[in-house]
Structure 1
């Protein structure tokens, strides 16, 4: 038998949360323990609940979703967090995942997507869009990758880069492949352009 997932909903828009609660109540594998319209009220009562997943909005009065997520993670590391937002900016998603949120779902997504996010989060899986993953990886080049990207921007070929850094050509090619994947591009030129756009390279 599948595990029951205990969920708490937090949003200052009651119609949104009641609609979601009504949908979740029809799922026999999910129990909605409570609905809160204020983050501070949730934090005050959280010790009395045995909750697996908290679904929260970003924009709330007094304490926003990011602040709430940090507070929860500081005291309840095992609780999974699903964040809802009317904005799908990659910056928001990046900030959410760095805090420890497991899923970021647009508010206009179908309820089934939110259910999937709850289930995947409960299992410990991270749900992130491809665009957000590229954005989050933008400044995670290793020191060697950053140096190689600088040399690519100086129009050095693979052999010249290898000679400059004292590494094999195969190693250079491996680093370049990693750079392209992390930046979400398919060419050296694209990597340089993205490097300048994201501030990894300086003009």
Structure 2
């Protein structure tokens, strides 16, 4: 029996996933969460084999949640189910520790297949993601977005800045000094070739990284 946790800020999505997964005898939904903070609580309180998680959620989003969960539970399989196209997020999230990435437009049975694969300790790589990884490995993809060059910490800082968070608030939340966060901000600006926080926000919205 594979124990699954569902994380999505839309109750109707959670309900639909729960009903669909319940039709498979080897899967059991053991809990649900509305955002990243609740996801951490779910993993801490319930015995979860696979966490099926959206990436775009208010307040405590999936990117921060993924990194926080993998820091505490490195062996937990986290399968991302997102409305964003693979090209915008997949390779970055796999680098951050996700076990797989699926677009919400995928066939429902693919979700079940992916859950079974990652529950065995393997990564689930869809054809679309495999193509992205192949392009990256072959040194291609000159047209790949600049944000894919960002490190894990730089991506965190970038997304927080793009959503209007101050450097001081970030430093406190990430347990870093203001100076360190400022350094990350400078690196992000340089790598993305941008000049201001408003530019960061525009870039993030344009590339579908925030809503």
Q: Give the TM bin, normalised by the shorter chain.
A: 0.5 to 0.7
Higher Cα radius of gyration: 1
Q: Give the structure-2-normalised TM-score.
A: 0.62
Aligned residues: 146
Aligned partners of 1:31 and 1:139: how far apart in 2? 36
Q: Give the structure-1-normalised TM-score.
A: 0.65
Shift of 1:18: 0.4
Aligned partners of 1:26 and 1:57: how far apart in 2? 21
Q: 2:66 corresponds to which residue? A: 69
Give the alignment partner of residue 92 of structure 2, picking from 84, 91, 95. 95
Say whether 1:48 aligns with 2:45: yes
User: What is the RMSD computed on CA atoms of the aligned residues?
Assistant: 2.3
SS at match of 2:124: coil
Structure 1 alignment gaps of length 5 or more = 141-181, 184-193
Aligned partners of 1:195 and 1:59: how far apart in 2? 25
Shift of 1:44: 2.8
Give the alignment partner of residue 15 of structure 2, picking from 8, 14, 18. 18
Deviation sequence 1:31-56 (CA, Å, 0-9, x none): 10011112212213422211100000
Contact map agreement 2:86 2:128 (CA 8 A) in 1: no
Structure 2 alignment gaps of length 5 or more = 147-211
Deviation sequence 1:69-99 (CA, Å, 0-9, x none): 1111000011101101112232300011101
SS at match of 2:52: strand
